[in-house]
Amino acid sequence: MEIKLTAQELKKLSTKKGLLALLSKAPLSIERSLRYVDYQKKLKKLQVELIRLQTWGIANNERIIIVFQGRDAAGKGGAIRRLTERINPRHMRIVALTKPTSDEQTQWYFQRYVEQFPKAGEMVFFDRSWYNRGVVEPVNGFCTPEEYDVFMNQVNDFENMILESGIHLVKIYMSISKKEQAKRFADIKSNPLKQWKMTKLDERAQILWEQYTEYKNAMFKKTNTKRSPWKVIQANRKTEARINVINHVLNSIPYDKDLEI
C-alpha cells in the first residue's frame, strides 16, 4: 500500500521522537506516530509554562493544591507525572495517602489532608483526596452512611476555608468509559511492570460501575460550585487528557505569563 506524506509529516517522522514513535508500538501506524510527535511538542511547550507558573508561585509565596479524582485506571498518575516531571522537585509534593491509621480514624476526617497542605511557594498534587469519602468509601463500605452525610455537609465549607486562606485549589476529575477501563485493567494484569497498580478495589471497579456513577453524580451535584468547580477531563485517549489537564491548571491559576525564567 502506497503511503503519501507531506514534507512536514516526513520531517516530523524523521526526528528521533518520530522514529521512536514509529518503532515503539506494533502494528506500525503513521497516523498514531504523527499524533505522538505533535503531543510531545505540545507537552514540552506546556511544561515550560508550568515552570513559569511554579517560578511565579515561589517568588510570591503562593500555595497551590491540585486535586485528582476519577475512575480507577483513568490516568491520574500519568497526568500528575507530566505535570511534575520538569518542575523543581524541592517546591512540590505528590500526596497519595494510604489507608488511615487507627489514630487517624479517630480524628476529624479532613485532618490528615490538612497536614499535607502546601507551605509558601509550594505546589501539592493530591492523587486522590478527601473526596474518597464522597465516592470510594461509601461504594465499598469503608464509611458509615452517617459519616458520608457529615462529609457532604462539611466539604463545601471546608473548601471555602481553603480558598479564603489564599490557597489556590484546582479540582480535576479523570473520566473514562467502562469499556476503556476494562481494556486498561487487562493491560495492567498482563504487564509485569504494571501489575503492582492493580488493587483489590480495582478488581471490583467494573462490578460496582453503576454505584460509582451514582455517588460521583451526587458528588458533582453538591460540590461543583461556582467558587470551587470541578473540571471533568475525558481520558479515553491518554495523550489528549494530559494536554487538557495541563491547560486547565495553567488557565485556573492567575500567574504572570510574562515572567522570565
Question: Are 161 and 233 spatial neighbours (Cβ–Cβ below 8 Å)?
Answer: no
**Closest Cα to residue 71, out of 246, 208, 228, 247?**
208
Question: Are 119 and 57 spatial neighbours (Cβ–Cβ below 8 Å)?
Answer: no
> CA-based angle 131:197:139, to the nearest 5?
35
What digits encode the pLDDT tens for the residues 163-214?
999 999 999 999 999 999 999 999 999 999 999 999 989 999 999 999 999 9
Name every residue whose Cβ is closer than 8 Å to that of residue 64 and which is 6 or more positions away in sequence.
57, 118, 122, 123, 124, 167, 168, 170, 253
Q: pLDDT class for 11, splitting at 50, 70, 90?
A: low
Q: What is the pTM of this model?
A: 0.90
Q: Which three cell numbers stand for residue 107?
A: 480524628
In one-letter notation, the amino acid at residue 90 is R
Distance CA 219, CA 68 (A): 14
In 128-258 the beta strands, taken as DSSP E runs, fall at 168-175, 230-234
**β-pair partners for 138:** none
CATH of domain 61-252: 3.40.50.300
pLDDT at 206: 97
What digits encode the pLDDT tens for the residues 61-116?
999 999 999 999 999 999 999 999 999 999 999 999 999 999 999 999 999 999 99
pLDDT at 1: 47
Distance CA 168, CA 62 (A): 8
For the chain, give me the number of helices (H) and strands (E)? 12, 5
Distance CA 215, CA 175 (A): 14
Q: Which three cell numbers stand for residue 190?
A: 498482563
Q: pLDDT class for 18, splitting at 50, 70, 90?
A: low
Going by the DSSP 8-state scheme, the letter that residue 130 receives in this structure is G
Q: Which three cell numbers stand for residue 169?
A: 485549589
Q: Break the chain into its structural domains and give their ranges.
A: 61-252
Q: Which three cell numbers stand for residue 215?
A: 455517588
Q: Match 502506497 to its residue by C-alpha cell.
A: 2
Q: What is the longest distance spanned by two Cα atoms in the chain?
A: 68
